[in-house]
Amino acid sequence: MKSAVHTFLRPVLLVLFLLPLMAAAIDIAVTGDWTDLFITANDLTAGPGSNLTGQYESNIDQATIDIVNTAGNSDSWRVDVKRTDTTWGSTAVLAVRRYDSGYGEGSISGGLAYQTVGTTDMSFFSGTGDRTGIRIQLKISNVSLSLSPGNYSSTISYTVVDL
Amino acid sequence: MHCKNIRAFFLLFSFMAIVALAFSAQSANQVVTFSVTAINEIAVSGNPGALVVTAATAGSQPNEAIDNSTTYLISSNGTNMKITGSINAAMPPGVSLKINLAAPTSGSSAGDVSLGIDSTDLVSGTGKVAEAGKTITYKLSATVAAGVVVNAHTTVTLTLTDGN
């Protein structure tokens, strides 16, 4: 009987001990899309005979990111970013930057300069502890008249990696 | 032996849970959408000078008056577009106004074309383009039957439109 208790109960207790740690997985939330960019003839740099402005920036608070549920201020994480195209202009370049540091007792670093968002994960910024209200600004560049009329869409994925 | 296997399973599960926890990742998405409307813009640099038919070679119709002082500017993200031209009123009898547009890089010019109140193709097959300084050449001719025409004005309209 004692052997059975040792055999079954001890591992179960170990798993139960680990469950609270598993529940502490870091969460990331993003609020805000960018869907109101309409490029028209008004965007020609100098009217007929000229090309498009070519570069468009979103509001500085087009999106906000919250990093929560960390294990504490010393819990390190990294946010990766990538895009998945629905329909995207082959020449258009999508870039993202962290406009500010948000709020929280943890730290945050990197990502303040625009970086191109590719189709594979790349490091965006990193930090420790909970950070909320991190403002994200987006930029679409290299848009010219070579881009046919139409709608272009992509989904940006922000992934928090617990380090 | 059976019990040991079960215990090993639990321990392995626990280890995997720890490893999974150490490299856990959560994702959140954001949609980015932008729209490009059809852009088809054309403009001219200004009005040409007065075209005056004044001279003739004996035995021939009067010489054409020519002006190539103006240009047009074009921006388009369309394909297979064309430029048509027309005038707002018919020219007096015996008088003809021709126009010749230099073609953009993508497109071909129809050469000298007589303008009428109905639109006529001047350039065809233009693609995505942003060019300025494309020369417009006007040629005014009059037969002797036209007689003397004083201070006639006409408005030339250039239109960038779908060539399909």
pLDDT in tens, B39-87: 999 999 999 999 999 888 888 899 999 999 999 999 999 999 999 999 9
**In the predicted model, what is the mean pLDDT of residues A69-90?**
94
In a domain, B23, yes or no: no
Number of structural domains chain B divides into: 1
Nearest CA in chain B to A78: B25
**Is the predicted pLDDT of residue A106 greater than 70, yes or no?**
yes
Is there a domain that residue B11 lies in? no
Domain assignment present for B112: yes
Note the pLDDT of residue B150: 84
> Could you read off the pLDDT of B130-157 as tens digits, one per residue?
999 999 999 999 999 988 888 889 999 9
Report chain B residues whose CB lies below 8 A from the CB of A12: 10
Q: Is the pLDDT of residue B17 over 80?
A: no
ipTM value:
0.84
pLDDT the model gives residue B6: 59
- Quote the mean pLDDT of chain A: 89
The alpha carbon of residue B71 is apart from the nearest alpha carbon of chain A, in Å, by 11
In this prediction, residue B19 has a pLDDT band, given cuts at 50, 70 and 90, of very low
Which 3-state string (H, E, C) describes chain B? CHHHHHHHHHHHHHHHHHHHHHCCEEEEEEEEEEEECCCEEEEECCCCCCCCCCCECCCCCECCEEEEEEEEEEEECCCCEEEEEEECCCCCCCEEEEEEECCCCCCEECCCEECCCCCEEEEEEECCEEEEEEEEEEEEEECHHHCCCCCCCCCEEEEEEECC
Domain map of chain A by residue range? 25-162
- For residue B22, is it within any domain? no
Task: Please give the residue range of the domain that contains residue B52.
Answer: 40-162
CATH number of the domain residue B44 falls in = 2.60.40
* Residues of chain B with C-beta less than 8 angstroms from the C-beta of A11: 6-7, 10-11, 13-14
Class of the domain covering A25-162: mainly beta
